[in-house]
Each structure stands twice: as structure tokens, then as C-alpha cells.
Structure 1
């Protein structure tokens, strides 16, 4: 009996020592080491790190009205705005037990992004973000990344983009026709650009209409919202295997639904080829991915999971970023009518009442400056 109690005591003592080392000593040691090099930051809080403070900053910022100003950094990243003012341009913060070095100095940012010595690997994705992006171009590295990048470059090089312009113009005409029927009513431009970018991506990259792709966009948008609201929420490791939150259950359902919907689009493309309706799988992004999944070269062949992940990545990266940029550009033009006039004059001078063409678009210097300012 004494041996049993002694063993139990030693086991509990060891578990406590390991927990203290991981939860307290290691963060304390890292903070001291970084402080000795001039890098300070908000103090580590047991288990949660700084995530609760970050959520508080974000909730307070979003509760205040948005001013008509270019200075939106304190609104979208209030914790970084506050802590760079307190601790300097580069500081240490904590995502649970994970230390994060926040870098805002332009030269250091350039060094990280250049990454010639491969000293800055991409972080491993898990949880909701993994469901959202999978192993697509954004998250992979090395040879796999190179092959994925090659496919994307081939699908969207200059000549390919020129060939996509008529479909883009048609989609814009459809949007403008909807606006004409509103008879002066207010327009939710964010929602309108959501439809526009969805239509363009579906038609140019995946050979489907917005109606066919709408379900995928809706599921991706819901999954993005779930991932976003859980970004700074910390859960005990392994707890999801015993008990899943509503968000976890919903995200799994959405992940499977997105996969099924994309595979259905692929199946329809392959059936059209078999039926002779299409000569081949096509040279749009989807067609190139499907070809890669059937490649005879095993080293270049991609799995169905890779194919779906690439589609998800492009849907998200191509759609959400473009949609947000267009909305922000229109917002900035609305509060700077002088630039509206300059842009309108340039477009009319280059195109008159004709649809845009690739050569003319290259001549839009003022519009280029406006878009670059909005990025």
C-alpha cells in the first residue's frame, strides 16, 4: 500500500512539475530572454496568454462608430495599435502558450517576407483555419508549394487574364442592370460586390455560374465567420475529442458540404468531356487542377483533397480580398468626390462609352493610383 501511495504521489508530483514548467516557467523564461534583447510586451497570463485582452480590445473598438477616416488601424487591429505605442514597433505577445513576436518595422517585415534562408517557416494551421484553407497554396511550402504556384501562374498569366475580360465585363453589366432597377434606392455595395466577384470567379476560374457556385461561397463565408470569431479563443488540448462546441460541429458540416459541392462541379466537368460536349478538361484553374489529379507523373499528381483545398484557397483569396478592396475603394471615392471626377474623366477619355479592353486598362493611370491607395 505504501508503495502504491508513493507511486501515486510521484506521478502527481511529476504531472504538476510538467504543468508548471509548461504553463509558467517556460513563458517566464522566454519573456526574460526577449526583454534582455530589448523586446518587451504585455505580460503573459496563465494559460490564456493575451487572448482575453485582445478580444476585449476588439470588442471595445467595434462598439464605437466608425469615423470617415483613412486611419482605420486602431479599429481593425486595436491591440497592435495600443501595444506598439506602449512597447515599441516590435513586441512579444502570447496566443495561449504560444509566444508571438509582432513585427511592424518595414525593414524587418521585408526580411521576413523575403526569407531567403528559409528561417521563417509558415506556421502550422489547425482547428478552424485548417478546415478553411486545408493544404492549399497559402499554407504549404517547398516542392508542393512550387507545384501549386506553377498551376496558379499558368491559369492566371497575362494572356489568360485578357481572355477572361469579356466574362468580367458581362458580369459587371449584369450588376449595373440590377442597379438601374433600384430607382434611386440605397445600394449595399458590399453585398453587390460579393455577388459580382463570386460571379466572375465562378465563370473564369471554375467554368460555372454564380448560381451554381453560390452554395460554395455561402458555406465558405459561414466557415470564415466561425474561424474569425474563434481566432483568440483558447481550448484545452484534446478537449475536442471528448466534447465539441456548436461551432466545431457546424464547421465540420460546412467542410464536408464544401468538399461535396466542389466534387460535384468536377464530376460535371468530367462528364461533359466523356459525353463529347467539351474537347478536354479546359485550361481554366479548375481544368488544370483536374488534369493534375489525373497526371501520369506520380510526382506531379495531386490528390482530390489537394484539389479541393486549392479550390477553397482560391475562392477565399480571390473573392474576399477583391470584394473588400472594391468596397473600400468606393467608400474612399465617396468621401473624396474630387478624385471621383478625375477617375470618371480618365475612364471616359480612354474608353468613351465602350466596354474596357486590356490595352485601355493599361492606360488608366489615375485609376491605378486610386486602387493602389486602397490596397
Structure 2
């Protein structure tokens, strides 16, 4: 009897310990064996990097520390040599030690840093089917939802087809009067401030002004409303962006977003109010025949019957374009004005071209935008030195070979170091860190050397609107005002969700 009870207890103990043993084996396999095997795989191909350390003691924390130190470091002088070091310090530091292509770790995920234009072209264009988007950290869905930015497969195809119709160049040209009207309203406020102060010049943070302008333009063109109607949505998204950025810099612990922490409660509250406001905007526009050429109208009533989106999908796309439509163009224009304020000779060249092309008109027309060659070169050079997105991420969806020599296992994440490529003296010459729009006078030699809006099938769908808007804003303001960088401006490029000036962009404007 005693022996029977002993065997029974032993069997029960074994049965209880078996699941625990299985869990331990799974953890060892996932967090020790696979990463070390991947690390060895790349080392055998000559690709090195900071060594893997299990779970939280890996390079994710080191990377986060580098970013924090860069953002708290002393601002750089107003040249463009320190941009890469400030906005992607982990790439800058590790590439000095391990070379341009190296392996680092985010949690247990292998990330391959790449700055070779040939490889980038393969990833984004010729072998794009072998690389997908990295799944959103669940926390970031509060900002973008399940919109175009994070979709894959057939869903992405449908959403891309619908939004592509809304942002084709012919449709964007129809929005030119709305864009002009927004700019004129802003300039009228500037002139009123000049008259009220009885001064010939005035100083302000152009970064804030351009964010409000871009918010008004995306509200009018994409959603048929205006900045005042969408103001609360933008405020909510700016608060969400801060919390999402914090989340993206940390390894996500599965299920942690459901824990009622202070940050999570704030995220839930912001998400709920944002979704309610966007839903009201959709309902308001659903039964009206007005604004039939907007993005929202296209989302509600797509041209193909098979492309019908449900309410949640429409809300998610609206959230994506409310944020991305404002951020990208506002930051591009901020850096463009700072660069022209610093380089007066190019400001004068742009002004002369606008005067010549527009004549007596205060603003360019849709049919004259293509004639603004110098303005276009200035914007391209701005995008090279200060791209709104400092990098791009992809993930191998299958085993693939890059550059005919590098075997990349399925699941490997790729960090495409856009800002480093844009500043590489081996690609752009010894003056790579100099503002020189003339380098865009001739077509680029290599597709993978310049990709501020991405490349290939997933190139930014809003690129047409961003460039048309930027051209018109720059042309109208440079025609009516001269401007310089304020002595109070502190040059500190910072990687938030987009590349922006950490302390604003103080400039001094005067009416011509």
C-alpha cells in the first residue's frame, strides 16, 4: 500500500512538473537557442554586432540609452554633420565598430542594419514580396489603428487601391484652391500681427505654425472639414504619439497593454475619445453630396463594389491620415524654411523662380507647379538631409539572399538606415553634409540612395499631396516674405515618430 501511494505521488508530481518542464524548454528554445543560432549564422557570413543576451539584458536597452543620451546631449552647431549621430545613435555607434551591415537585437528579435543602396533596392523593390511590414507593437495601434501603414496581404491591396484613387495626382490638383486658401488665411494672421505690433518683422516658432497649417490642409482636402473641427483629434493624437514612442523604444511584454497602469489608462481614454470624434466626422459626411472628391468620400463610397470598408476600417484609415498627413509635410516644410533661412542665396533663387513662374499672381496654379524646378530641388535636398522618417523597417517573410551573398533567415527584421544613406559621402560625395540642391539637377544614379517616401509597391500613398502642398506653401511664403533663422534657435534634430527640431524652429520673418 505504501509503495502504491509512493508511486501514485511520484506519477502525480511528474504530471504536474511536465507542463513546467515543457515551458522551460520552450523558453530556452525561443530565447536562447534560436537567437544564438541566428547570431552564429550571420557571423559565419562575416556579419557581426553587439552580442545577444537573453530577453531584457540585450541591446534593446543599450539602444534606448544611446537615444536618451543623444537627445539630452548638447545641441550641435547649425550644420548637417551631426544629424545621423543625434537621430540614430545606435546605428552611428555600432556601425563604427561592426561596419555598415551589422546585427543587433530588440528583445529576442534579430535586426539586420542595412545601408547598402543595392540591398535597400532589393528589399523595397525587386524582392519586395519576400519582405513584409513588421507587425505593430500593439500599443501603437492606438495611434494608427489597422490602417494602411500596418496592413499586409489582400487587406492591404484593397486599402491601397482605395486610398491610391484618392491621392492620385489629378485629384490632388483639384485640391490646390483649398491648399491656397489655407495658406492665405495663415498669412493674413501674420500680417495682422505685423500691423498690430507696428513692426517690420516678427519672430515665431515656424514649426508650430506649419503644423497648424498642415493640419488645416489635411482636414480640408482629405476630410472636407477644417482645422478647428479636427483640432481636438490632432491634440489627442499628439498625446498618443508621445506614449506610442515610449512603447516602441521598449520590448513589448505580451498582454501588458491590458494591465490598468496609469499609462495604459491614459492610452485607453485617448483612444476612446479619438475614435468617437472620428466616427462622428464620418457619420456627418456619410449622407452628404458635398466634398465628393475627398479621401473620406472615397473611403465611404469606393469605385468598386468589392472594396466596401466597414466603419472600423474607415475610422482606422482616417486616424492614419490625420496623423501622417500632418506630420510628414509640416516637418518637411519646417526643415526647408530653416535651411533657406540659413542659406539666403537659395532663398533668393527660389524667390526669383517663383516671381518668374507666377508673375503677378500671389500663388502658383496647378498647371505651373511643374515649372518650379528650383523649389523642387530645394525640397528634395531637404528630404535628403532631414527625411521625415529617419529609417524604414521590414521583416523577411521567407529565407532570402541579398546582394547575391547574404543569406537572411525568415523572421529577420531589417533596419534600413535611411538617414545614414542620405548622408553617406561615398554615395553623395565629399559635400554630402552640405546643403546643395543642385545635386538634384540631374536624375539620381541609384534608386536605393534616396528614398524619403519609400520605394516600390509600398511607396507612400500620400506623396503627391505632400509634395504639391510643400511646393505651394514654400512658393507663396517665399514670394511674400523674407526670413532668417533667429539667434534663439537651437539646432537639435530629434527622432520622435518623425524627424523634428527638439526645441522648435524660431525664425524672423519680414514682409517684402
Supply the distance in 2 between the matched residues of 1:157 and 1:234 (Cα, whole angstroms).
38
Supply the distance in 2 between the matched residues of 1:264 and 1:284 (Cα, whole angstroms).
16
Change (3 A) 1:126 1:59: closer
Find the residue that maps to 1:99 and give its secondary structure: strand
CA contact (8 A) 2:162 2:307 kept: no
1:120 alignment partner, one of 102, 114, 131: 131
Supply the distance in 2 between the matched residues of 1:363 and 1:296 (Cα, whole angstroms).
35
CA contact (8 A) 2:139 2:257 kept: no
Question: TM-score with structure 2 length normalisation?
Answer: 0.68
Deviations 1:320-365 (A, max 9, x none): 0101100010111111111111111111122234121122221111
The aligned counterpart of 1:168 is 179
CA contact (8 A) 1:281 1:290 kept: no
Change (3 A) 1:328 1:144: same
Q: Quick check: 1:156 aligned with 2:167?
A: yes
The aligned counterpart of 2:299 is 289
Q: Quick check: 1:304 aligned with 2:311?
A: yes
Deviations 1:90-144 (A, max 9, x none): 1111111111112111110110001546111222223222222222222223332
CA contact (8 A) 2:70 2:86 kept: yes
Supply the distance in 2 between the matched residues of 1:77 and 1:329 (Cα, whole angstroms).
21
The aligned counterpart of 2:237 is 220
More helix by share: 1
Change (3 A) 1:155 1:117: closer
Q: Quick check: 1:25 aligned with 2:33?
A: yes
The aligned counterpart of 2:275 is 259
Q: Which runs of 4+ in 1 moved over 6 A?
A: none
Supply the distance in 2 between the matched residues of 1:92 and 1:238 (Cα, whole angstroms).
28
Supply the distance in 1 between the matched residues of 2:25 and 2:12 (Cα, whole angstroms).
20
1:374 deviation in Å?
0.7
2:350 alignment partner, one of 336, 343, 349: 343
Supply the distance in 1 between the matched residues of 2:13 and 2:264 (Cα, whole angstroms).
40
Q: Quick check: 1:268 aligned with 2:293?
A: no
The aligned counterpart of 1:79 is 90
1:310 deviation in Å?
1.2
Structure 2: any 5+ residue segments left out of the alignment?
Answer: 1-8, 195-200, 384-512
Change (3 A) 1:235 1:155: closer
1:281 deviation in Å?
6.8
Matched ranges for 1:342-361 at <5 A: 342-354=349-361, 355-361=363-369
Find the residue that maps to 1:362 and give its secondary structure: helix
Deviations 1:58-97 (A, max 9, x none): 1111112133122311111111111122111111111111
The aligned counterpart of 2:46 is 38
Deviations 1:215-253 (A, max 9, x none): 111111211121112212124333444x23322222222
Find the residue that maps to 1:102 and give its secondary structure: strand
Supply the distance in 2 between the matched residues of 1:361 and 1:125 (Cα, whole angstroms).
37
Find the residue that maps to 1:138 and give its secondary structure: helix
Supply the distance in 2 between the matched residues of 1:68 and 1:296 (Cα, whole angstroms).
51
The aligned counterpart of 2:266 is 250
Supply the distance in 2 between the matched residues of 1:68 and 1:213 (Cα, whole angstroms).
35
Structure 1: any 5+ residue segments left out of the alignment?
Answer: none
The aligned counterpart of 1:51 is 60
1:130 alignment partner, one of 129, 138, 141: 141
Find the residue that maps to 1:154 and give its secondary structure: helix
Q: How many residues align?
A: 365
When structure 1 is superposed on structure 2, of 198-207 and 16-25 the one drifting more is: 16-25
The aligned counterpart of 2:405 is none
The aligned counterpart of 2:115 is 104
Find the residue that maps to 2:112 and give its secondary structure: strand
The aligned counterpart of 1:234 is 251
Question: TM-score with structure 1 length normalisation?
Answer: 0.91
Supply the distance in 2 between the matched residues of 1:296 and 1:364 (Cα, whole angstroms).
36
Supply the distance in 2 between the matched residues of 1:22 and 1:341 (Cα, whole angstroms).
59
Change (3 A) 1:119 1:235: closer
1:45 deviation in Å?
2.4
